Copies of this chain bind each other. A is one copy, B any other.
Amino acid sequence: MAAPQMPPPDYAASAPEVGTPAFSPLYQQIKGLILQSLQAGEWKPGEAIPSEMELAARFRVSQGTVRKAIDELAAENLVVRRQGKGTFVSTHAEQHVRYRFLKLMPDAGDREEEGPATRSILDCKRVRASAEIARALQLRTGDAVIQVRRVLAFGGVPTILEDFWLPGANFKGLSADQLATHVGPTYVLFEHEFGVRMVRAEEKIRAVAADAPQAALLALPQGAPLLSVERLSYTYNDVPMELRRGLYRTDTHHYRNDLS
């Protein structure tokens, strides 16, 4: 910075408008700026972001302030710090966070032993959003969405039947072939091919009985109890980007959740 012993910059920058306290610490503002660059794709998933010193210089704040901003981004799993190497835009492709959003675990052993799922794409088509789908994805009824139905099998056993819907505007050209042949989690495909990174999700879980078609696809008797998992996934800025409705077999697997 120019002069030493400078008074702290006016970090309560936002004008104190009526009705809004509108005080925002400097590090929150820096966090917002970094977030903007992430959204804008200035740094792609897996790439390093500038070092703390560089960012401090760019934003004219101390390293400690940048550090606190990055700390929060790391806590939200938007970036990953690696000592001695740098800070990286996080991605669903990393080994230890692969299948971050899939909480279904085999009762015995772990997912490594079990190996990756076998995907069968049953359907992949462009349709018009129903009122319900449109509401969830913050679109208008009748807007184009891509609808996919698939079955995931673990160790040869069909275990998950799911449908998902994606905004047509963001996933132009997504094909059944792509979905069937890409390697790794589907969310990695979304990152690489469509530049859409899911950063968080909300799930609503219920127990339901399999109807005839569902039972057939999962090789179960009709009426078998299934876990219904409705997931709404968001990109940056709380923009919903995928609605997914899954039915999970839970006779050999369970949904695992850690509370704290």
Give A residues with C-beta under 8 Å from B. 75-77, 100-101, 103, 199-209, 223-228, 231, 248, 250, 254-260
Contacts and interface: CB of A to CB of B under 8 A. Distances in A.
A226 B205 CA distance: 11
Closest 6 CB pairs of A and B: A206-B250, A207-B225, A207-B207, A205-B255, A200-B260, A225-B225
A257 B227 contact: no
B257 A257 contact: yes
A104 to B, nearest CB: 9
Count the copies. 2
Q: Is the interface of A mostly helix, strand, loop or mixed?
A: strand
A225 B228 CA distance: 11
A202 B259 contact: yes
A255 B205 CA distance: 5
A76 to B, nearest CB: 6
B257 A203 contact: yes
Contacts of A209: 209, 223-225
Given A223-B223, A225-B209, A204 B259 contact: no
Nearest to A256: B204
Contacts of A226: 207, 225
B260 A205 contact: no
B202 A227 contact: no
A186 to B, nearest CB: 15
A258 B206 contact: no
11 contacts: A200-B260, A203-B256, A203-B259, A205-B205, A205-B227, A205-B250, A205-B256, A206-B255, A207-B225, A208-B250, A209-B209
